[in-house]
A and B are shown apart, each in its own frame.
Chain A
Amino acid sequence: MSGPQPQPGPTPTPDLRHITIPNVPPNTYELLSGVADAIDTANGNFNTHATKLGGISSDTNGAVNNVTSTSQGSGANALSDTWKNTQTDFSRAHDPLTGIVASNCMGGSPNPMRDVVDQNKSSIQAGLIAMENIQASQHSINPPSAQQVEGWIQDVNALMGSLGNVNLAMQVMILAIRNLNGGFGASCATGFTPGFPPPTFPNNSFAMSNSGSSGGGSGKISMGDLEDNLKSQGVDPGTAESIALNAEISGLNLDDVQSLIDTGAKPSDVLKWFEDGKLTETSLNDVTALIKQGVSDDAITQLLNNGIDSGGEDPLALISQVKTSGAKISEGNVVGITRTPGGKIDWLETGNPSAGLEHIMNGDGTPGDIGHGQDFANIGIEGKDNVTKLIIDTLQDETPVATRGGGGLVFNVTIDGTVRQILIVVGNNGFIVTAYPL
């Protein structure tokens, strides 16, 4: 026989005074998110500077090749040899910058830090709340239940586990940064050593005999002159210095940069164009020409940012030619421009419900006029960017197989191996009014 069994008593509430609260700030999640933001910013800067380094290397390579292909002598030879070493240095600087933004280091979207913070967000936030509850209960006259306390302890433990995960991600990035430092620590192939005098070359090693035509460089103002000129024109010293420095680094003709400012471009806009990498040897004089033609800085900014489809030709130069002809063009709204095989310049603007890209894609949006976006999609051309490219490429490369009244041109185009017909209507001045497949 068995007698009455003892009933289990209530679970004792853990002694709150003996619970150790980890030393974690209450805004931990915000702090970690801020770190993830900072990593994104750093990755952006790494990318930007890697691109700039690549551009400088490429431009310099072109300049050196130009000199060495038109000149002979020990100077040209010395330049060629030195440049080879400098290219090695460029690679040593460029490769770590691109390597660190790989997704297994600090890069990717989301970056590893943001990824781990996002994945552990709920446990971090729950743990922080649990910490607050424990602290509050330690000074409260109403003790919490044992179940509540157990829950809080579990949440705090989960918080610590999540912070461990965050720590692991940070360790990987710390290693990547150490490797980056190691990459930059390699010796300079050109011969420059930080903190030491520049390398010496034998006397007359750069003496040269020019086998090509002379020219270039003469009459150029210096970087200091440009900076001083801008300051004397009332440009604030910081902006003047930055413009001069950017112009010099970009290898632009400083006289041309001075002309751009003299033409009326706002120095603050010019600096922005430099910082965005939009002012190049190719675009500088076109921008100056457009400003001379009365195009506003805002329109220029739009133009430079549009990524205009121009089939390889300089879009700013084409726009400038259209303006010179007197045709009505909304330069800031141009999304594509090209020269046809017959030499005519045709362009596509963002437009409106009646004409241009908006009309082509969406019509006026009523049930009876939904545009031709779906018609193009039916033949395999989806989205406004691809439609723009098809129209511009077709006008640039193809000859019409037929015409329709009112400027309609019929082209045969091959899409995914199938020949299709599209009709493009171009106004007398070159404005692309509409387009659709037939």
Chain B
Amino acid sequence: MGNFVTGTIVQNKAGATYEGTVYDRRLVLQPPKGQEIFIFDPAEPISTDLSINEMYDLVLVPFTISVQIVSASPMADAPVDFDGWQGTVIDVHWKATKEEYRLIRPELYEGEWILLHTAFGNILLNPRSIKEMLSEGMIVQWARARVDLYAIV
């Protein structure tokens, strides 16, 4: 298990909707510390039954194409005024294992992911969005972007 992003769901509403069918959802998660996280639950949503004001541990994947390495050393000081996300690489070959999640997107089982530790908990990066080779201990940043829900622990 990965100690993913934990918080209280404060909003869970339908996104794309056509002729009564809800095709995706929008969530707002309030972590114990820090600002709210807006989450997109893509096509074939898995968050339909998540309750408001309940705590959840969520596996999140940001949609970003602009991840930048700010430090190759975990000891280096990263900029403190960055208004996006920042994390430390803890596993570049992370794979989802079955029976660990209440709900999961099948895509999460497809290939390897990059596991990062952030101030909100662990999240995953899609290796397709990274141009550089990452290794454990690197600190990376990316601008505020859509955050997709991939699993509920």
A interface residues (Cβ-Cβ under 8 A, vs B) = 354-355, 359, 363, 367-369, 372, 374-375, 378-379, 404-408, 421, 423, 425, 427, 431, 433-434, 436-438
Contacts and interface: CB of A to CB of B under 8 A. Distances in A.
Contact of A368 (B23, B38, B44, B128): B38
Given A369-B15, A378-B145, A431-B18, A404 B43 contact: yes
B19 to A, nearest CB: 7
A427 B22 CA distance: 11
Interface residues of B, number: 25
Contacts of B92: none
A408 B19 contact: no
Contacts of B146: 372, 374-375, 436
Nearest to A355: B18
Given A425-B23, A434-B23, A405 B65 contact: no
B28 A359 contact: no
B17 interface: yes
Contacts of A379: 65
B16 A425 contact: yes
Contacts of A425: 16, 23-24, 43
A427 B18 contact: yes
B65 A434 contact: no
Interface of B: 11, 13-19, 21, 23-24, 26-28, 38, 42-44, 63-66, 128, 145-146
B145 A355 contact: no
A419 B146 CA distance: 19
B63 A375 contact: yes
Contacts of B14: 354
A407 B18 CA distance: 12
Interface of B is mostly: loop
B15 A406 contact: no
B45 to A, nearest CB: 9
B13, B18, B26, B28: most-surrounded residue (chain A CB, <10 A): B18
Contacts of A405: 43-44
17 contacts: A354-B15, A354-B16, A354-B17, A354-B18, A355-B17, A359-B16, A363-B15, A369-B13, A378-B65, A404-B43, A406-B21, A406-B43, A408-B23, A434-B43, A437-B63, A438-B42, A438-B63
Contacts of B15: 354, 363, 369, 434
A436 B42 CA distance: 9
Contacts of B23: 406-408, 425, 433-434
A408 to B, nearest CB: 4
A262 B108 CA distance: 60
Nearest to A420: B65
Given A427-B21, A436-B146, 5 more contacts: A368-B11, A369-B13, A375-B145, A434-B43, A438-B42
B72 to A, nearest CB: 25
Contacts of B64: 378
Contacts of B13: 368-369
A195 to B, nearest CB: 66
A436 B19 CA distance: 20
Nearest to A421: B128
A427 B38 CA distance: 26
B44 A433 contact: no
Contacts of A407: 23, 43
A411 B14 CA distance: 24
A378 B66 CA distance: 9
A339 B26 CA distance: 31
Nearest to B19: A427
Contacts of A367: 38
Contacts of B42: 404, 408, 423, 436, 438
A368 B26 contact: yes
A434 B26 contact: no
A32 B45 CA distance: 63
B16 A434 contact: yes
A395 to B, nearest CB: 15
A167 B112 CA distance: 74
B52 to A, nearest CB: 13
A363 B17 CA distance: 11
A379 B128 CA distance: 13
Which of A363, A368, A378 is packed against the most chain B CB atoms within 10 Å? A368
Given A375-B146, A404-B43, A433 B18 contact: yes
B104 to A, nearest CB: 13
Contacts of A423: 42-43
A355 B14 CA distance: 11
Contacts of B65: 378-379
A407 B43 CA distance: 8
B130 to A, nearest CB: 13
Contacts of B66: 378
Contacts of A404: 42-44
A372 B63 CA distance: 11
Contacts of A363: 15, 26
A394 to B, nearest CB: 16
A427 B128 CA distance: 28
A408 B42 CA distance: 10
Nearest to B63: A375
